[in-house]
Amino acid sequence: MSKALHQLKKHIDVSNPKTWVVIAAGVAGIVILVETRRRKRRATLLTREGLGAFVERFELLPFPQPPPPASRLLLSGFKFAVTDIFDVKGYVTGFGSTSWKRTHEEATKTAVAVTALLKNGATCVGKTVLDELSFGITGENMDFGSPTNPVLPSHIPGGSSSGSAVAVASQLVDFAIGTDTIGGVRVPASFCGILGYRPSHGTVSTIGVLPSSQSLDTVGWFARDPSILHRVGHILLQINPVEPRRVRNLMIADDLFQLSKVPKQKTVHVVNKVAENLSGFIPTVADPPLKLNSKKAVFSEFHDRAFTLLSIASMSGCCQVTVPLGKHEDFPISVSFIAFHGADKFLLDTVLDMYPSLQEQASITSNSLPLPDTNGDMDASELLKEKGNAAFKGRQWNKAVNYYTEAIKLNETNATYYCNRAAAYLELGCFQQAAEDCSKAILLDKKNVKAYLRRGTARESLLCYKEAAQDFKHALVLEPQNKVANLAEKRLRKLMS
């Protein structure tokens, strides 16, 4: 016995029962402290590895390839993840809850949807995080840690199938499957900037999937590449792989875009550019992703606005696809296409057909001149004026003239339209047209300083120095401190002296 224990025996009455109660309490406290630290370390590890997307990693190899001359399986070489709501033989389905996982047995069979993907050549690499009991659209989870949104790390990834979306967006897998009851696939797809598909209700087997609300539950999937989204859809929906059918007609729910905080120019404008004969579609969600750990008061309005849009497909049983369209003010944005129940092949074919053009137009819109955040509140003539302003800033003078001309056709009583077109004419060297536009602007607005300045510049270029000097003097009457008018008036005075 060590000296420490000898000393301890001298000071402790081991025959006293209270002594053992104190010792037991101390040991229990140490055990609890050690276990708490272990769980924290585990949670940290999960967060660091794969952005916290996975609950657990494993590998389920695909079924063997058929012998030649048969073609390779449709999903050969692709890796996928499954939300921890799907049964996988030999693993406990956690349902986003450590309590649930601790009190349930390992699955004896693998979910039908997972088996179908394995049969077609894909490799499953693990289970991913979801909202606890699949109840929520934020993607946050207290037990397993919230997956990190790779597009916007300080904001929520969206849920319920948050881990699957993050795994795809961070390129850890080629595609992933999750469930969409009230937006569980569509919301995280939108917030993580990837494709997300909710099929028609009842078209993909939910055998081996823990139910949230059987009348609304669907098995959905995520992908970065539309061709992979298309392939997975053909497997899960059991569609024959025939030539994709081109889109014939789409309808836009224009009123729903009034709910979105993203400018219509970055959504409606982009799709209309791809298919000029379209008349509408819907935003996926109304708001950008909330910041992590936002105050609870914020969530009520966020949910109400989100469910206004998400409930359309959920309640009708229709199929819906979320398509990313770049960013607005650093937030990922998307639009959704909805088709009637059973039109899944049509919708998948449409996305495959339109996706490259949509991304091209989204890129052009993002990289080109900024358009105002009108959200549909601006009339057509004002929108044309703003497009003209954007073209002017980009030194596209002829295009600016065309936009201003169209605006004038719609509203001939707006002095600003004439004045702005005059500025573009000046850049093109069309001084007579510029002077005429300024004269019209002044007739409509006697205090339009810019019109006097621009007409003065045009007249000076036409060698009409006296008339030009008068214009600059008028500008100085309206704005005595105007430096441009002051310098021009002095310059013309010297020329005429």
* Model pLDDT for residues 230-246, shown as the tens digit of each residue: 999 999 999 765 544 54
Q: Per-residue confidence at 217, pLDDT binned at 50, 70, 90? A: very high
CB atoms within 10 A of CB 205: 15
Structure letter (DSSP) for residue 219: E
pLDDT at 41: 54
In terms of CATH architecture, what is 53-367?
Answer: Alpha-Beta Complex (3.90)
- Round to whole Å and give the CA distance between 165 and 319: 19
Using the predicted structure, report yes or no on whether residue 450 has a pLDDT greater than 70: yes
Q: Per-residue confidence at 373, pLDDT binned at 50, 70, 90? A: very low
Using the predicted structure, report yes or no on whether residue 8 has a pLDDT greater than 80: no
> pTM of this prediction?
0.64
Averaged pLDDT, 288-317: 86
For 146-167, the pLDDT digits (tens) are: 999 999 999 999 999 999 999 9
The residue ranking higher by pLDDT, 449 or 284, is 449
Tokens of 124: 């499953």
Share of the chain above pLDDT 70, in %: 78
Per DSSP, the residues of 168-206 read HHTTSSSEEEEEESSSTTHHHHHHHTSEEEEPPTTSS--
- Round to whole Å and give the CA distance between 286 and 262: 8
Using the predicted structure, report yes or no on whether residue 15 has a pLDDT greater than 70: no
Max CA pair span of the chain: 121
pLDDT at 35: 60
- Please name the helix (run of DSSP H) or strand (run of DSSP E) that holds residue 59, with its range, or none: strand 54-60
Using the predicted structure, report yes or no on whether residue 300 has a pLDDT greater than 90: no
Q: Per-residue confidence at 459, pLDDT binned at 50, 70, 90? A: very high
Q: Which residue has the tokens 């044309």?
A: 384
- Round to whole Å and give the CA distance between 69 and 85: 38
> Are 43 and 146 a contacting pair, CB within 8 Å?
no
> Are 74 and 120 a contacting pair, CB within 8 Å?
yes
Using the predicted structure, report yes or no on whether residue 275 has a pLDDT greater than 70: no
pLDDT at 280: 37
- Round to whole Å and give the CA distance between 308 and 352: 27
> Are 205 and 113 a contacting pair, CB within 8 Å?
yes
Using the predicted structure, report yes or no on whether residue 370 has a pLDDT greater than 80: no
Q: Per-residue confidence at 192, pLDDT binned at 50, 70, 90? A: very high
Query: In the beta sheet, which residues pair with residue 322?
Result: 196, 336
pLDDT at 7: 56
pLDDT at 497: 76
Tokens of 170: 């961070």
SS3 state at 22: helix
Averaged pLDDT, 83-112: 97
In terms of CATH architecture, what is 380-496?
Answer: Alpha Horseshoe (1.25)
| Nearby residues of 298 by Cβ (< 8 Å), 6 or more positions away | 290
pLDDT at 262: 53
> Are 314 and 220 a contacting pair, CB within 8 Å?
no
Using the predicted structure, report yes or no on whether residue 293 has a pLDDT greater than 80: yes
Q: Per-residue confidence at 50, pLDDT binned at 50, 70, 90? A: confident
- Cα 475 from chain centre: 48
Using the predicted structure, report yes or no on whether residue 22 has a pLDDT greater than 60: no
pLDDT at 19: 59
Averaged pLDDT, 282-288: 79
pLDDT at 2: 53
Strands of the sheet containing 79-83, edge to edge, are 54-60, 123-128, 79-83, 175-180, 218-223, 195-198, 319-328, 331-339, 282-283
Tokens of 450: 């810019």
- Calculate helix-pair angle for 449-461, 483-496, nearest 10 degrees: 30
Tokens of 205: 């087997």
Using the predicted structure, report yes or no on whether residue 445 has a pLDDT greater than 70: yes
Q: Per-residue confidence at 18, pLDDT binned at 50, 70, 90? A: low
Per DSSP, the residues of 383-440 read HHHHHHHHHHHTT-HHHHHHHHHHHHHH-TT-HHHHHHHHHHHHHHT-HHHHHHHHHH
- Cα 79 from chain centre: 23
Using the predicted structure, report yes or no on whether residue 309 has a pLDDT greater than 50: yes
Q: 226 φ, ψ to 5°? A: -65, -30
Query: In the beta sheet, which residues pair with residue 80?
Result: 124, 175
Single-letter amino acid, residue 383: L
- Round to whole Å and give the CA distance between 348 and 26: 62
The residue ranking higher by pLDDT, 20 or 321, is 321
> Are 93 and 104 a contacting pair, CB within 8 Å?
yes
Q: Per-residue confidence at 362, pLDDT binned at 50, 70, 90? A: confident
331-339 vs 282-283, strand pairing mode: antiparallel
- Residue 50 Rama label (left phi>0; alpha psi -120 to 50; beta): left
First-to-last alpha carbon distance for the chain, in angstroms, is 117
